[in-house]
Amino acid sequence: MKRLKAALIQQSCSDNQPETFAKTGRMVRQAAEDGAKLVVLQELHNGTYFCQTEATEQFDRAEPIPGPATERLGALAKELGIVLVTSLFERRAPGLYHNTAVVFEQDGSIAGIYRKMHIPDDPGFYEKFYFTPGDLGFTPIRTSVGTLGVLVCWDQWYPEAARLMSLAGADLLIYPTAIGWDPADTPEEQERQREAWITVQRGHAVANGLPVLSVNRVGFEKSPDPHATGIRFWGTSFIAGPQGELLCKGSTEQEEILAVELDLERSEAVRRIWPFLRDRRIEAYGDLTRRFRD
């Protein structure tokens, strides 16, 4: 495909799963009615972001893949004839769980999965308690609309992940996300964090000559810990072109659908004038596999 209309679904979530899925479905249908052939949902979109605390009962949220959630989402993709990028809490085996992106083809089948590789462990983001690091590597998923370099949230800070997806033939870099502010931080610190998040991902677009699609949730989610401040998710979902140019950008507060028609041939043109892949000194990069160079 030379041109592709892609849409991001930026929404708030609740633990009323039928209600949350119904809202997601309405927004996805609207995007498809408006011509989107690729629709991307945010990280762990089935409910609230449960990683604010460490609690073993939260593992009950996980499902196998395939499972009930993939059946519903696959049926939605088939009904609308779209490629749908989703994000689920995967129960792989007893005691073995992943944060997993699932991509559905236009016929509703699973085109591929990606298991989140970089797992954070910060106040309010206790993901290492829940998720085993991915073991599928940085392998793009081939679909009818292109080859998708799907990564998840914390992965977006790592240039190595974006580069490896690019070298493996990705046409797009896609980041389902759940990131927000600590309400106790100053407005200045909050803005520095949000701008850093935007900047590093736009850098991945520039360095690899590829469009970047990043979708984040919005709204305040209270922490189960009465002493914690909760998280206010900052939205700001965006799509950037292969020179890092912002093609669309969401608000920090509103649920919304962000859609853009992408010219997939621009990546070739940009890589001809900025041949970063040509000029890489691959023989000198061995130390990248070391934790630190003492």
- The answer to whether residue 109 sits within a structural domain is yes
- The answer to whether residue 294 sits within a structural domain is no
Is residue 82 left, alpha or beta, with left meaning phi > 0 and alpha meaning psi from -120 to 50? beta
- The answer to whether residue 24 sits within a structural domain is yes
Rounded distance between C-alpha atoms, residue 262 and residue 269, angstroms: 14
Domain of residue 254: give its range.
3-289
Q: What CATH number is given to the structural domain containing 263?
A: 3.60.110.10
Count of domains in the chain?
1
Q: What is the pLDDT of residues 112-162, one digit of tens each?
A: 999 999 999 999 999 999 999 999 999 999 999 999 999 999 999 999 999
Residue-level pLDDT at 1: 66
- The answer to whether residue 160 sits within a structural domain is yes
Average pLDDT, the chain: 97
Cis-peptide, bond into residue 66, ω within 30° of zero: yes
β-strand pairing of 238-240 with 256-263: unpaired
Question: What are the C-alpha distances in Å from 110 to residues 5, 114, 182?
Answer: 21, 11, 36
Question: Residue 170 — φ and ψ, nearest 5°?
Answer: -65, 140
- The answer to whether residue 15 sits within a structural domain is yes
Active site residues: 43, 116, 153
Q: 42 near 215, Cβ under 8 Å?
A: yes
For the chain, the straight-line distance linking the first and the last C-alpha, in angstroms and rounded, comes to 47
- The answer to whether residue 260 sits within a structural domain is yes
Q: List helix spans (H) across the chain.
A: 17-33, 68-80, 159-167, 187-208, 266-273
Q: What is the pLDDT of residues 67-122, one digit of tens each?
A: 999 999 999 999 999 999 999 999 999 999 999 999 999 999 999 999 999 999 99
- The answer to whether residue 207 sits within a structural domain is yes
Q: Please report which confidence band the pLDDT of residue 212 belongs to, taking 50, 70 and 90 as the band edges.
A: very high
The tokens describing 154, both together, are 């914390």
